[in-house]
Amino acid sequence: MPRVVVAIGGNSLIPDADHITVQDQYAAAAETDDHIASLVAQGWDVAISHGNGPQVGFILRRSELSSNELHEVPLDYCGADTQGAIGYMLQQNLVNDFRQRGITKSVATVVTQVEVDANDPAFSNPSKPIGSFMDEAKAMKRRDEDGWEVREDAGRGWRRVVASPAPKRIVELDVIRQLLDAGVVTIAVGGGGIPVIMNANGDLEGIAAVIDKDLASALLAGLVDADLLLISTAVEQVALNFGKPNQEWVSQFTLAEVKQYLAEGGHFSEGSMAPKMRAVVQFMEAGGKEALITNPQNLERAMAGETGTRIVQ
C-alpha cells in the first residue's frame, strides 16, 4: 500500500480565537479526521503528526496560575501531556469514522521522544517564545532563580524563549514502523516530538526546547519510507509573495524551484510557509518522492489533483 504522513497544523484543532475549548478542539479534530478517513478508505497507509503550540500554552498558563498551590509543569512534560490528549481526540474520532464507514483498521498514538543535539547552535540563540507575558521584574526573577532565557517582545511585555533545535533521531521509530507495517493508523511525533538529549551517561534526558513539527514530520516520513508528505495548513494552496500585490497561487513546484525561492528569500513567509517548504526539501532530499500542501477541508480534492500545491522532484 502507498504510505502518507499527514502533518496536521494547529489550525486543524483551533480554527479561531472563539473556538478554543476542549470540546471545540474535539469537533475540529472530528472534521479533519473525516478527511483522513477518506485517505484510508482509498487504500493509503497513514501516519499522522500534529502541532501542539496552543495546547502547550494552555498548560503553561494553568501551571503559572496555580503555582502558589501546585508544582509547575516542565516543558517536556507539557509536550507529553499534549501528545496524549491530542492523540486521544484524533484516534477516537478516527475509530468512530472507521466504524461508520465499515473500515476495519486500528488506530494508536505513540508518545514520541525526538533526540536533538545538545550542542545544536539553536541552544546558543533561543528564539521560540512560550508561556505568558510577564513584566520585566518577574522576567528577571525567573531568569535569575530558574535559569530562564527571557526576551522583551515588541513592547508587549517579556516572555520566556527556548531553543528550536533540529530533530536528529526518533527514539520510538521501530515501534512506529511496526505499527504502520501492521496496518495501524499511527499518530506520532506530536508537536515535533518531546525534545530529549543524550547525557554524559548515555541516558536520554528531557530538555526545555521546541522542535519544529514539520521538520520532525519530514524526518518521520523519510524514515518510514512514505510515498507522500502531506502538510495540512491554513491555506488551500501555496502562494509566492503571499499578502503582497504580486501574490501568485501555485499548483506545483519542482524541488529545484523551491530551493531557489528559499535561497532568494522573501517569497515565503518565515512565520508560516517557509519552515514548511524547508521541511519538504528535507524530505525530498532524503529520497521522498512527492509532497503536497493544502488545508484540511480540501485533502481529498488535493489528493485527486484538483487543488493544493504539489512539490515534485
For residues 89 and 76, give the distance between their C-alpha atoms in angstroms, rounded to a whole number. Answer: 20
Asked if 276 is an active-site residue, the reply is yes
* Sequence-distant contacts of 77-80: CB under 8 A, at least 24 apart: 77/206, 79/52, 79/190, 79/191, 79/193, 79/194, 79/195, 80/111, 80/194
Judge whether 119 counts as a catalytic residue: no
Residue 185's H or E segment, with its range, is: strand 185-187
What pLDDT does 195 receive? 98
Catalytic residue among 222, 276, 288, 295: 276
Which alpha helices (H) appear in the chain, and where do they start and end?
A: 22-41, 53-65, 75-101, 136-146, 173-181, 213-223, 255-264, 273-285, 299-303
Measure the CA–CA gap between 87 and 108, rounded to whole angstroms: 8
Q: Residue 11's pLDDT is what?
A: 66
11 is catalytic: yes
Mean pLDDT for the chain? 92
Cα 215 from Cα 199, distance rounded (Å)? 23
C-alpha grid cell, residue 270: 518565515
Query: Is residue 239 within 8 Å of residue 248, measured between CB atoms?
Result: yes
Locate 181 and state its grid cell.
507495517
What is the value of pTM for the model shown? Answer: 0.91
Number of neighbouring beta carbons within 10 Å of residue 45: 23
Catalytic residue status for 213 = yes
Task: Print burial letters for 101-136: b (CB count within 10 Å at least 16), e (below 16).
Answer: eeeebebebbbbbbbbeeebebbeebebbbbeebee
Residues of the chain with pLDDT > 70, as a percent, come to: 99
Give the bridge partners for 102, in sequence order.
none
Q: Which of 128, 138, 259, 289 is catalytic?
A: 128
Catalytic option among 51, 190, 193, 213: 213
Q: Grid coordinates in use for 170?
A: 526518533
Is residue 30 a contact partner of residue 24, using CB atoms and an 8 Å limit? Answer: no
CA distance readout (Å), 76 to 56, 79, 253? 10, 5, 36
Q: Which three cell numbers stand for residue 108?
A: 494508536
Q: Does the annotation mark 289 as catalytic? A: no
For residue 228, list its beta bridge partners: 4, 290
- Of the residues 11, 52, 93, 295, only one is catalytic, namely 11
Residues of the chain with pLDDT under 70: 11, 132
